[in-house]
Structure 1
């Protein structure tokens, strides 16, 4: 059984027991999340597609930790002009674990 869920503006395929990284979410570590924006549910070959969401479906997850991702380098250059700009950042992420899919 799996579901397609929208979390913080991005779509993820989730299954029970799977961990994934999303953009920073509200809540402390070990807090429970209920994700209501379920777009699709596959329950053993029976597929339910929402318009835009599936009625009565939800996904329960637990926040494991908040962390920062790997460094992303942003490099800009204009040739023959002497313009070079190097910058970088680390994205704030949240690691969550999927506990249950209720359809």
Structure 2
């Protein structure tokens, strides 16, 4: 099993080879393109562990952008007791679906 932990826009994600990953929506990513992430913090391959300080310079992650999707609805409900105040609002967060192609070792 090969996997890595990388930083994307300040959030850490676990990348597993040939698996799908949902990250928060990024309008800069064009569908069908291949992107390389180079801010890799941790890399595991066949029992060998590499830890960056802060990033690994020798590892890159190549992914393909598949589609932009909406997640499940999140409901925000506010209420104040005995005041007759109730507000119900909600939204669907947007995500970008990625497929991890491979890990590039320099």
TM over 0.5: yes
Q: Across the two proteins, how many residue pairs are aligned to each other?
A: 103
Q: 1:7 maps to what in 2? A: 8
What is the alpha-carbon distance in structure 1 between the residues aligned to residue 5 and residue 37 of structure 2? 11
Aligned with 2:95 (options 79, 85, 93): 93
Question: Is this contact kept in 2: 1:8–1:23, CA < 8 A?
Answer: no
Using the TM superposition, give the Cα deviation of residue 21 of structure 1 relative to its aligned residue in structure 2, in angstroms: 0.7
What is the alpha-carbon distance in structure 1 between the residues aligned to residue 84 and residue 52 of structure 2? 53
Q: 1:30 maps to what in 2? A: 32
Q: 2:80 maps to what in 1? A: 78
Q: 1:20 maps to what in 2? A: 21
Which digits, 9 at most, give the CA deviation of each residue in 1:6-53, with x for residues without a partner?
Answer: 223321111110001111122221111111111100121111111111
TM-score (norm 2): 0.89
What is the alpha-carbon distance in structure 1 between the residues aligned to residue 66 and residue 77 of structure 2? 33
- For structure 2, list consecutive stretches of 5 or more residues without a partner in the other structure: none
- For structure 1, list consecutive stretches of 5 or more residues without a partner in the other structure: none
TM-score (norm 1): 0.92
What is the alpha-carbon distance in structure 2 between the residues aligned to residue 64 and residue 99 of structure 1? 12
- Name the SS for the 2:92 alignment partner: strand
Using the TM superposition, give the Cα deviation of residue 56 of structure 1 relative to its aligned residue in structure 2, in angstroms: 2.0
